[in-house]
Amino acid sequence: MNMSKIPLGNWVDSFVDWITVAFTGLFSFFTNGIDGLLNFIVEVLSIGPPILLIIVLALLVTYTSRWPLGFFTLLSLLLIDNLGYWESTIQTLAIVLVSGFFTILIGIPIGIWCAQSKTVQKIVTPILDFMQTMPAFVYLIPSILFFGIGVVPGIVASFIFAIAPTIRMTNLGIQEVPKELIEASDAFGSTASQKLFKVQLPLATPTILAGINQSIMLALSMVVTASLVGAPGLGADVYRAVSQINVGQGFEAGLSIVFIAIILDRITQNIRKPAYEHLISRKIILSIAAALIVVSALVLVFAKENTVKENATGIGAQIDYEVIGIEPGAGLMKQANNALKDYKLTDWTLVEGSSAAMVAELKKAYENKEPIVVTGWSPHWMFSSFDLKYLDDPNNTFGGAEDINTIVRKGLKEDAPGAYTILDQFFWKPSDMEDVMVDIANGVDPAKAAEKWIQTNPDKTAKWTKGAQEGNGESINLVYVAWDTEIASTNVIGKVLEQHGYNVTLSQVEVGPMFAGVANGSADAMVGAWLPSTHLDYYNTYKNDFIDLGPNLTGTKNGLVVPEYMDIDSIEDLK
């Protein structure tokens, strides 16, 4: 059918843009509130040496689930501390606790409302179906625009993803209360609130707690996804390990998440009927826990010193001393970390996330003329869309201009000589790449943007295919990182190979898997190796297992980038 596409995506974009502008103050309020609550929980959990919290958690698990699990908790938390993931564990616990708090605060009342009104249930049920089936990554996109990069969008996405079981199980628990008991309470003249709090909720408590338990487990499962927008914790450690193909670190961080999941699961499952309630009343344990929290809070209030950073009225104070970064495995992030050390920017933090999250945060700040510092590279379409500048790098920490190289697997020349020739002859200029990148940034499908550029530049593609043997449907798998530069270049060379008779597959991966895939032969080629600095570590790891065909683009640049309206010119100005 020759039917024009319904602009659903454009409608959603416009709606989100309107919400972002109309409710900026509300989003700022929520961001500050959630940040404050999260920081408070982190500080409370971090009071004293780790062994204190380890003992408290071990005793709590022992009380609720018997001593073998308490002993397991003690050993597992000591192992986490020994492996160096205690700080990440505290951050993960805080994120899950905040998400769980909002899940209970909002989910239980909605579940009660659904149980009391068939109309509300009919409206809420399809919404819950949508929330549970929509990929969790999708929630991150508007969350970034509403709340900025960092832990808050991760918590919001976790909350949306995890709230459904609490609502459903609360609704189910209340509806399963025997009708005879409801009729009896009505016969004795109970009010609606008396019937709810003295009959329905007490009988529905086991079911409600089961829903809360599942919500907490779902929130914990989101910690890795939340790290894509800068949320700290064990999820960020796992994401970093995936990006760097660090199997050991990935296993350690993943095992830590498993331990935390088991501990939280056992506590929430058995908190209603603790194993040793016959020895110590549950009310006493809850009172002790509440007292510990209150004492910890008072210690924080009276002992915390109001430290004022040097130059508190400078640019750093305005942006909370944060540099907005990209994927943790990127070489640019390593360079940025080195820059913070070289220039002695000890107060500053490099926020990990993703390229898309960085651009979203830049766009948001640029539209509001707010200060921001991001990690940047050229070519990139953001330099065409925004008026930006690199901060001078007197120490040359980011190095000079880099090349982007084409790397292929061993044996490709023999298996597909024509594809090998085209990849070997592939070369273009930064301005060529930016033409494709701008179209993609403006909403053009990457494949169509590539076709448009090829049609406009037949003389350049003719040089790439000169003398290349026609393909006969051979499969060529190109791997790339989801950077705007690599999306553009990989789609263009992929289309050229297709037009020359090859069956091309494009596979999006992280940096480490991109190099590893070509090295082990599971991928045929990539055109996104930034050298000699950005991807040097990966290159040196696998250089004996692939073939480097040399640069396909020269004259790139890395560094810290700010909008032109900011009155700073050098990295040294950040001090």
For tokens 């020269």, the residue is: 554
Scanning the structure block, which residue is given the tokens 């090859």? Answer: 502
C-alpha distances (whole Å) from 387 to each of 306, 366, 372, 379 are 37, 9, 13, 14
Per-residue pLDDT at 313: 53
DSSP string, 128-141: HHHHHHS-HHHHHH
Query: Of 344, 288, 347, 136, whose CA–CA distance to 223 is shortest?
Result: 136
Residue 303 is predicted with a pLDDT of 64
CA-CA distance, 406 to 552, in Å (whole number)? 6
Confidence (pLDDT) at 83: 92
- pLDDT of res. 309: 45
**Model pLDDT, residue 478:** 95
In terms of pLDDT, which residue wins out, 103 or 293? 103
Residue from 401, 419, 432, 562 nearest 504 by CA: 419
Structural domains of the chain, with CATH: 27-300 (1.10.3720.10), 316-399+563-574 (3.40.190.100), 403-557 (3.10.105.10)
Does residue 497 register a pLDDT over 50?
yes
Average pLDDT, the chain: 87
Please work out, in degrees rounded to the nearest 5, the angle formed at the alpha carbon of residue 308 by the alpha carbons of 307 and 309: 115
Cβ 20 vs Cβ 146: under 8 Å: yes
- Provide the pairing of β-strand 402-409 with 546-563: antiparallel
Residue 499 pLDDT > 90, yes or no? Answer: yes
When comparing pLDDT for 334 and 414, which is higher? Answer: 414
Q: What is the average per-residue pLDDT within 99-121?
A: 92
Closest-CA residue to 343 (of 391, 400, 390, 397)? 397
Percent of the chain with pLDDT strictly greater than 70: 97
Burial class (CB in 10 A: 0-12, 13-18, 19+), 20: middle
E runs forming strands in 518-545: 525-531
Q: How confident is the model at residue 307 (pLDDT cuts 50, 70, 90)?
A: very low
